[in-house]
A and B are shown apart, each in its own frame.
Chain A
């Protein structure tokens, strides 16, 4: 471990690390664009200049390895002057259209210029005009003028997604990012290029012009899109969730996440949610509060067990809930109701083992391993076929279903609802609205549940790593976690002082909503 001095402070860094890594590790600020911890070193932006004692010229920190006894600083006047001018050169052809740029507020160029720039540019040249709105693919839009050619996105497609779609074409000040012959940038990781773009050149079609980033709050969470369990941060405001971006975790997802996972904020928002309890059948619903629905459903459950014995009820769970909820729910069933009829609804047994080699897995549940482990720890061995036979023989009177939270990954949902509805009564616990329930003849309770962003708990990912997450925000205040539902089922009361408030839901601004697709 070489000992070096950074701005006068002695630090010890691992052998073989570069100077910029040493800066990052010790938390010393350094200006940089093209360097990204998840990508190779390009050394093209020339902004991470440092002065090393004994070297006649400044060196770039990203491509210089630390050596024992190096004395490095980036606070001397010569370094500051170089960085100031470097930034000015980056701005020669940059349009500075920050007021209409979607990146404003989280823009590397803005941030770095505020910290290190010279504020009074001395460039009098005409700016080179380039392509302004390039439709790069299904998810990404390019503005060539804003691009500062850091090549992060090109390196991403070369090194991480290995799809090689992007390149830097032409020469000198006419350089532009692009794809070959108009082919789309269409891989499942394309939105990562938007994340790593330090300027507003690459923007997400899904998010652009929706919100100003400085009005958004951020919460850490775990992506519920598949069993990889990427660490994410969720941006939300008082209207709901707006986007999901990856959060670094070297052991799980590195710096990246897939485009499919980024859609997993949509089902959380108010318009897709079940906001109150519903009781009824064949589409004629009586709307009641979630609490009343849960109470009466619990009463029905307990009465059925008292009348017909514990085998007359069944519980079906999906891999979409937290370990804590499974534990609470299974305890209630096995101990309080003394029923061992607990079944695991696998939505995609054919694709469960699929893996694209990077992050995305065919098992589209965040906690399949968690539910399997929980079933194992309660020694529950009921098979799906048992449920089939017991339902058709009318042995099961009430079936409780902890249904899918992310309904898009349950293509078999309609079919399964019809299947469950063979029972006399169904208690359907879910976050979303389900059209298919309108067709069933069983007496049904719909009880709204919270989604992953509204509760605390843990998911066990496919590697067996237990990842905890906390409440980010609350969209539907009436909704319960499964644990809270169990409290009400067993006749207890919740602590009403601790109930959260709802968000307002998305308000449509018509002047923006009708502005066109791109």
Chain B
């Protein structure tokens, strides 16, 4: 059974009092859950819904809109490959496919050893350096498939 830590609960309450509309607190609260757990389990949505007094459907709408929220557990290395317009035109989708193939994983599914997750994501705001990916909290830019694989291997994937 999922349970929010005391600190996180206080955080959510503080966020709720911070904004005029309580819907504004959904994103920070979801991020807090993700920071604590690595991903946002469905039970967390129910817990947040009860705590924030917002219908589950509305929290889920936000959760499923943003690719930045992990709807499944992710590996130690989470490579998020941008597949939005600029990156797609410069080979972002092929990059994502190449990574999936070379690390033998499916898009968005954690590898069996828990080391790596490769996922396609929406725009990360680095169109000038397309194609690019975000590995955990770092941007790695101007990629080719070979370069991306090498970088990830260097990081221990």
A180 contacts B65, C-beta separation under 8 Å: no
Q: Which residues of B contact A168 (CB under 8 A)?
A: 61
Contact, CB under 8 Å: A171 / B122:
yes
B64–chain A nearest beta-carbon distance, Å: 4
How many residues of B are in contact with the other chain, CB < 8 A? 13
Cross-chain pairs A/B with CB under 8 angstroms, 13 sampled: A157-B57, A158-B55, A164-B55, A164-B56, A164-B57, A167-B57, A167-B58, A167-B60, A167-B61, A169-B64, A171-B122, A180-B57, A180-B60
B42 at the interface (CB under 8 A from A): yes
Residues of B within 8 A of A170 (CB): 64-65
A181 is an interface residue with CB less than 8 A from chain B:
yes
Interface flags for A260-293 (1: CB within 8 Å of B; 0: not) read: 0000000000000000000000000000000000
Q: Does A454 contact B (CB under 8 A)?
A: no
A296 is an interface residue with CB less than 8 A from chain B: no
Contact across chains for A171 and B45 when beta carbons are under 8 A apart:
no
Q: Please indicate the chain B residues that have their CB under 8 angstroms from the CB of A172 in the complex.
A: 122
Give the complex CA separation of A387 and B57 in angstroms: 54
Q: If the complex has contacts A180-B45, A181-B42, are A166 and B65 also in contact, measured as CB distance less than 8 A? A: no
Residues of A within 8 Å of B, CB-based: how many?
A: 15
In the assembly, what is the distance between CA of A171 and CA of B64, in Å?
7
Contacts of B56 in A (CB 8 A): 164, 180-181
Which residue of A is nearest B84, CB measured? Answer: A172
CA distance A158 to B58 in the complex (A): 10
Q: A168-B61, A170-B65, A172-B122 are in contact. List 18 more A-B contacts (CB 8 A).
A: A154-B57, A158-B55, A164-B57, A164-B58, A166-B57, A167-B57, A167-B58, A167-B60, A167-B61, A169-B61, A169-B64, A169-B65, A171-B66, A171-B67, A171-B122, A180-B45, A181-B42, A181-B45
CA distance A231 to B71 in the complex (A): 45
Task: Write out the residue numbers on chain A whose beta carbons fall within 8 Å of the beta carbon of B57.
Answer: 154, 157, 164-167, 179-180
Tell me the A176-191 residues at the B interface (CB within 8 Å).
179-181
Cα A168 to Cα B58 with chains together (Å): 9
Shortest CB distance A126–B (Å): 14
Give the shortest distance, in Å, between B153 (CB) and chain A (any CB).
31
Tell me the minimal C-beta distance from A254 to chain B in angstroms: 22
Give the complex CA separation of A168 and B57 in angstroms: 8
Compute how far the CA of A270 lies from the CA of B100 in the bound complex, rounded to whole angstroms.
62
Who on chain A is nearest to B55 by CB? A164
User: Which chain B residues in 45-66 approach chain A with CB under 8 Å?
Assistant: 45, 55-58, 60-61, 64-66
Give chain B residues whose Cβ lies under 8 Å from the Cβ of A165. 57
Chain B residues, CB < 8 A from A171? 64-67, 122
Could you tell me the distance in whole angstroms from the C-beta of A474 to the nearest C-beta in chain B?
Answer: 45
Report the separation of the CA atoms of residues A172 and B123 in the bound assembly, to the nearest whole angstrom.
12
Min CB gap B5→A, angstroms: 23
Q: Name the 7 nearest CB pairs between A and B, nearest first.
A: A164-B55, A167-B57, A169-B64, A180-B56, A167-B61, A171-B65, A170-B64
CB of B71, distance to nearest CB on chain A (Å): 10
Residue from A164, A167, A169 having most chain B Cβ neighbours under 10 A: A167
Of chain A, the residue at the smallest CB distance from B49 is A180
**What 1/0 mask marks residues of chain B from 58 to 83 whose CB sits below 8 Å from any chain A CB?**
10110011110000000000000000
Complex contacts, A154 vs chain B, CB 8 Å: 57
Alpha-carbon distance A165/B55, docked complex (angstroms): 8
In chain B between 89 and 139, which residues have their CB closer than 8 angstroms to a CB of chain A? 122
* A130 CB → nearest B CB, Å: 14
| Residue interface mask A430-466, B partner, CB < 8 A = 1 | 0000000000000000000000000000000000000
